[in-house]
Amino acid sequence: MTMTSAGFASASRSNPLNGSRPVLITGGAGFIATNLAHRLLCDGHHVVLLDNLARDGVEQNFGWLRRRHGNRLRMLFADVRDAEAVSRAVQGVGRIYHFAAQVAVTTSLTDPFLDFDVNARGTLNVLEAARHCPEPPAILFTSTNKVYGRLEHVALRKTETRYEPADDGLGRMGIDEQQPLHFHSPYGCSKGAAEQYVLDYARTFGLPAVVFRMSCIYGPHQFGTEDQGWVAHFLLAALRGQPVTLYGDGCQVRDLLFVDDLVEALILAHAHIGRLSARAFNIGGGPSQTTSLIELMDLIAELTGEPSAATYEDWRTADQRYYVSNTGSFREAVGWSPRVGIREGLQRLHAWLVNAHAADRAASPSPQVAL
């Protein structure tokens, strides 16, 4: 797709409310991007979204943002793989949040070329466009815990409902950034390659850039599918009275981070990017915000008043039995820590799904989950 140059010309003017340049968000109608855009617009910024609207639900997100914020929001209908469109999009912006991505391990297994083109080449398009600007904008790139691979070397013990590290210290703190990179799956490779380009452009070219290696994010405007957004997907299945398919034994553990807490971290990272540049941070709920799949199903059953049903299949490629973020590095750098607990976050997501009638939207006959 090509973007509308007239729309960008209007958005590229300085923000009269705060004197700053507009903010560009790639993948701007996605779940996290929508929440971030709303916060920035409420704070008085002009925001430019670049998105090809390829994912389910993103058109609703864009419509919601447009209704709420009107002309201070500009939408560029373009694909991050289109280097010319990306080059035009970055002109005049002061900072970039780069979310545009192919987000599913399953898709990367069936179409590695698509996965590479979107995640690696698309990110390189953003970096090159930013590098050649007269005033290069700062970039925050969202990566994934999948860059650490399956973490097979981490010794685990299994309880009735979850896996836990055999090392109590690791259980208290989580996985930190000293964990060696070990890409697994084409998705892990493409996101890992992309983040390494981001870090190197900061080191080699002096481009202000930082990386977030994110764990499981959830919250309003998330349209969970069988491949991505498993917390919302579980809630949607419960609301529809449908079972979910669990791959493995359901005792896999993740740390959950409510999207409002992530948005705060994203804004803080850009505010301090001068001293954070060329660094990667693990971002998630941390050890205090963990759940296994079957534990989450029990929480959802408490919330909805209905038992959750599940079927089981074999383990999936590259699945991690245990991943919990150690967010200490980012906390020490900027003073950030999550505030929304899992129960409160689930209640807020549940209320949004019900109010938005998201449970009535199209879904697969047997919802599945990919972590």
Domain contains 25:
no
Cα–Cα distance measured from residue 89 to residue 130, given in angstroms and rounded to the nearest whole number: 10
Token pair 């980012």 is found at 330
% of the chain surpassing 70 pLDDT: 91
307-358 pLDDT, tens digit each: 889 999 999 989 999 999 999 999 999 999 999 999 999 999 999 999 876 4
Domain contains 365:
no
- Asked whether the CA dihedral 215, 219, 220, 224 is positive or negative, the reply is positive
Asked if residues 359 and 223 have their Cβ atoms less than 8 Å apart, the reply is: no
Strands 23-26 and 95-98: parallel
Looking at residue 228, its pLDDT comes to 78
Flag the least confident range among 18-27, 81-90, 199-208. 18-27
- The candidate with the shortest Cα–Cα distance to 109, out of 345, 341, 319, 353, is 319
The total number of residues shown for the chain amounts to 371
Cα–Cα distance measured from residue 130 to residue 42, given in angstroms and rounded to the nearest whole number: 26
Looking at residue 14, its pLDDT comes to 32
Cα–Cα distance measured from residue 176 to residue 282, given in angstroms and rounded to the nearest whole number: 7
CB proximity list for 279: less than 8 A, separation 6 or greater: 199, 210, 211, 329
Token pair 């389910």 is found at 56
Flag the least confident range among 25-29, 87-91, 220-224, 297-301. 220-224
Domain contains 60:
no
Domain contains 327:
yes
- Asked whether the CA dihedral 48, 52, 57, 59 is positive or negative, the reply is positive
> What CATH number should be reported for the domain holding residue 144?
3.40.50.720
Domain contains 14:
no
Domain contains 70:
no
Looking at residue 188, its pLDDT comes to 96
Backbone angles phi, psi at 312, to 5 degrees: -125, 140
Domain contains 50:
no
Cα–Cα distance measured from residue 137 to residue 48, given in angstroms and rounded to the nearest whole number: 13
Looking at residue 57, its pLDDT comes to 84
Write out the catalytic residue numbers. 187
How many angstroms separate the first and last alpha carbons of the chain? 30
162-196 pLDDT, tens digit each: 999 999 999 999 999 999 999 999 999 999 999 99
106-117 pLDDT, tens digit each: 999 999 999 999
Rounded (5°) CA angle 354-37-74 = 115
CB proximity list for 181: less than 8 A, separation 6 or greater: 147, 148, 149, 192
SS (H, E, C) the chain: CCCCHHHHHHHCCCCCCCCCCCEEEECCCCHHHHHHHHHHHHCCCCEEEEECCCCCCHHHHHHHHHHHHHHHEEEEECCCCCHHHHHHHHCCCCEEEECCCCCCHHHHHHCHHHHHHHHHHHHHHHHHHHHCCCCCCEEEEEEEHHHHCCCCCCCEEECCCCEEECCHHHHHHCECCCCCCCCCHHHHHHHHHHHHHHHHHHHHHCCCEEEEEECEEECCCCCCCCCCCHHHHHHHHHHHCCCEEEECCCCCEEEEEEHHHHHHHHHHHHHCHHHHCCCEEEECCCCCCEEEHHHHHHHHHHHHCCCCCEEEECCCCCCCCEECECCHHHHHHHCCCCCCCHHHHHHHHHHHHHHCCHHHCCCCCCCECCC
Q: For the chain, how many structural domains are there in total?
A: 1
Cα–Cα distance measured from residue 360 to residue 358, given in angstroms and rounded to the nearest whole number: 5
Looking at residue 266, its pLDDT comes to 98
Q: What is the largest CA-CA distance in the chain?
A: 59
Domain range enclosing 353: 101-360
- The candidate with the shortest Cα–Cα distance to 124, out of 51, 196, 197, 212, is 197
Domain contains 57:
no
Average pLDDT over residues 259-269: 98
Cα–Cα distance measured from residue 25 to residue 184, given in angstroms and rounded to the nearest whole number: 27
Q: Which residue has the higher pLDDT, 39 or 240?
A: 39
